[in-house]
Every structure is written in C-alpha cells, then in structure tokens.
Structure 1
Amino acid sequence: MIEEIRQELKEQADETYRKFHASLVPGLTDFLGVRIPALRSIARKLAKEDWRRYLREASDSCYEELMLQGMVIGYAAMDRDERAEHLRGFIPKINNWAVCDCCCSTWKFMRKDPAYWYDFLLPFLEGGEYEIRSVVVSLMDHFPENEYLQRQFSIYNGIHHEGYYVKMAVAWAISVCYVRFPQETAVFLGANSLDDFTQNKAIQKCRESNRISREEKEMLNGLKRGKKS
C-alpha cells in the first residue's frame, strides 16, 4: 500500500511547483512537488481505504507523506477518542508552516464539538514553534464564534514564543478576528501584551483587508507601536 501511494505521489509531482514551493518553505529536503489539491484528492481516497495502515507506515520525513497523514486524520471516519489519539501523535511532528496550515484547515471535525477540541488544543501551547502555530491556526479556522473570541485574545496575550511562524500566525489570527468582530478586536489591539512585532504585523494584516473602511485603517494605523514622533 505504502509503495503504491509513493508511486502515485511521484506521478503527481510537478518540478516547477517543487522549486517554487521549496523557496517558500524553509528547510524542505524530502519534497516531491505535489500540489495541495492533488494531495487532498489522495487523502480523501485513503480515508475510504485502509487509512489506519497508512498512518502506521507513512514516512515522517517526506513532506507529502506527512501532509497526507494530517489530512487523513481530518477526512477519515473515526470516533473522537481515536482522532484525538492520532492528533496527539501528529501535531508534534509538524515541522513547517505549510504542513501546519493545510492540515489544520482539514480538521473541520473540531467545529462539531468545540468545547472538547478547545481543551484538547491548549496543552500544545507549551510545545515548540509549530505546535503553538497549530493551536493558533486551528482556533482561527474552527472557532469563529463570539463565545471563543475573548478566550482567543487571552491565549494570544499569553504566547511569548520568539519563533517567527508563531508571531505571524498570531498576527494573522488577530486580523481574521478583526474582520469578524471589529469593535472587540480594536479594543484588544488598543491594550494587550503582544510584542511590538506581532502587534504591528496584526495591524498590517488588518489594514490589508479590502473589507474594512479607510477610516478603520487610519484608526488601526494609530495603534502601531514604535512609530517615530
């Protein structure tokens, strides 16, 4: 089974895409160059077959195989406890922003039982750069309700990891919060414990949105830190 999947991945590989994507994701070595839609198609197919065997046998070093693992966990039919067990094993293996973001977006099951999955995610805030990013991106993708807004702000205030991909994830998530809840997010941006880099990146991302007014963009610009007087 594993060799069949690897052969399919090789057949789907695109050298032009491989070179382009490798320039965006630092540290990629074992990378074939399979586009995300093709990976999702393979993952959906695997989710209807012997996916447990695939999760046991898949390589952690190959970018595409690691991506497939995270996607299969999202697509396959399993109960909550089994899914949680697989996620506990998978999240610490995430080693770049692309695997993190693409896999997190696949975990739509979190929307059906947000209280459970919110509590499940919290311990990963004590992990490394991509474990923390996986929490932030999952919250952004699957916890849009107002009920979780202040909890998200509390989490972002408590993150003090120096990793670039943590800071950028927090900034991105705050900008999404602003689009959904502009008043509440503006209050948060006015008084928080974020480092200056994350604060200013969050404001930059908010201001890049075409869904907010020029007046809002001017207001947000006034919340940037470290400006010369």
Structure 2
Amino acid sequence: MTVYEMLLKEKDSKYKEFQAKLVPNIAPETIIGVRTPKMREVAKEVFKSDIRGEFLSKLPHKYYEENLVHFFVVSLIKDFDECIKEVEKFLPYVDCWPVSDQATPKCFKKNHGKLLPYIKKWIASDHVYTARFGMRMLMNEFLDEDFKEEYLELVASKKGEDYYLKMMVAWYFATALAKQYDASVKYFEDRKLDEWVHKKAIQKAVESFRVTDEHKEYLKTFR
C-alpha cells in the first residue's frame, strides 16, 4: 500500500474544507483531508516499513498530507547525521506553514552543537519556509539553557515581506519575551524590529500566559 492509499483511508471531507481555508496558499485539490493524529500514525507505520526509503526519495510529493507525513517520518530518525541529510533534502519542497511548523526531529535536542550551523544556514535562506523552519528550530532549541543574546539578532536581522516569514519573526520574539525577557525586551525599547513585526510580537506576548502581567503592561507602552 502506498502512503497516498494509507492517507486516503483516513480522509475526512469536512476537515479538508477546514484545511483549505487554513492554508490558502496551496491548491485545495492537493489536500486530502486527514487529521494530524492520523498522519502521525501513518508516519510511524511508514517509518517501520520497507517503503520508507522509496517514499522519502520520491520528491516532490503531490499532496499536502504526503509532505506532512514525510517530515513526520524524518523527525523519527534517531541518527543526527542521517536526519539532517533528509531534512536538507526535503526543505526546498516545503511550501506552506503547517509543513514547516509541525515536525521537530527528536535527535536535535541532544545535538545542539552540531545543529546550530545548520540553523544559521537555514535562517539565511531565501526560501521562506526553510528560513521559517530555521527560526522555529532556534526558538525551540535555543531559548532555554543554551540561549545566547546573539541568537536574537539572527532572527531580528531576517528581512522579507512574506507574511509567513514575518509572522515567524514575531512568534520567535513573543516566545523570547516569555523565556528570555531581559535580553529580548531591548529590541522593543530600541524599536529594532520592523514596525509590523514589532506590533505583532507585542500582541502575541500580551496574549501569552507565559508573559507576566507586569511585563505585558510595560510592553503595551511600546505599541
């Protein structure tokens, strides 16, 4: 059975309509309509099967859900070097924010030293979703004990007019305000971010349960 056939068995027509509205930049006919838990189940099955290699090597895929399953499968690879190889092979084919945002390779957590150069390269990419993925990995992996103030600049200096790129910069800084407030608030005090990103990041921080009320009130003064 192919991955497409596996996904087709889980098709939900109403969910397809919902997904088409959620991801307006891809063609509706490329959406099957499969919920994320089901796709993760398919990915686990593919990961353990003898069709994994063939599926990962056949790019580009036709369907949105095939791309999601692809990244979910890659995220299950335990060997860092093998995982990175597959991530780099796939990133140029990522064409929307859910595919960029929902997969997080487990092996990244224990390989920060090897991961960081890749993150810097991804953020520097002109491909919107490669850059978005790089910023998300920096947000996920380097805003806690391995944080350095210089990482904020990697994201702040990323310029572009694409909505999904700017939204990721705002998301990163809203999260940074929750986790590394003293370092990140300077970017708002000094208005170092583009105006749209500046306002959106403040909005997201004010809506966050992880930012203190005191910090929220201070941030509101910079709207």
- In 1: Cα distance, 2:214 partner to 2:147 partner: 27
How far the C-alpha of 1:143 sits from its partner, in A, is 2.3
Partner residue in 2 for 1:115: 113
- Other structure's SS at 1:147 match: coil
How many percent identity over aligned positions?
27
| Letter aligned with residue 112 of structure 2 | P
2:183 counterpart of 1:184: yes
1:22-44 C-alpha deviation (Å, 9 max, x unpaired): 10102332110101111111111
1:59-138 superposed matches below 5 A:
59-77=60-78, 79-103=79-103, 106-124=104-122, 125-138=124-137
Of the three residues 22, 25, 38, the one matched with 2:20 is: 22
- Unmatched runs of 5 consecutive residues or more in structure 1: 225-229
Task: Give the aligned CA root-mean-square deviation in angstroms.
Answer: 1.7
Kept in 2, the 8 Å contact 1:13–1:33? The answer is yes
Kept in 2, the 8 Å contact 1:48–1:76? The answer is no
Partner residue in 2 for 1:47: 47
**Alignment length, in residue pairs?**
219
1:16-63 C-alpha deviation (Å, 9 max, x unpaired): 111011101023321101011111111112112222222123652310
| Letter aligned with residue 130 of structure 1 | Y
- In 2: Cα distance, 1:80 partner to 1:36 partner: 24
- In 2: Cα distance, 1:139 partner to 1:63 partner: 25
> Structure 2 length normalisation: TM-score?
0.91
> Against the structure 1 CA distance between its residues 33 and 149, is the aligned structure 2 distance closer, same or farther, given a 3 Å change threshold?
farther
How far the C-alpha of 1:92 sits from its partner, in A, is 1.1
Greater CA drift, 63-72 or 123-132: 123-132
> Against the structure 1 CA distance between its residues 107 and 192, is the aligned structure 2 distance closer, same or farther, given a 3 Å change threshold?
farther
- Other structure's SS at 2:160 match: coil
> Structure 1 length normalisation: TM-score?
0.89
| Letter aligned with residue 25 of structure 1 | V
1:111-162 C-alpha deviation (Å, 9 max, x unpaired): 1101211111222222221111111111112223243341321112210111
| Letter aligned with residue 21 of structure 2 | S
Kept in 1, the 8 Å contact 2:156–2:169? The answer is no
Greater CA drift, 142-151 or 12-21: 142-151
- Other structure's SS at 2:34 match: coil
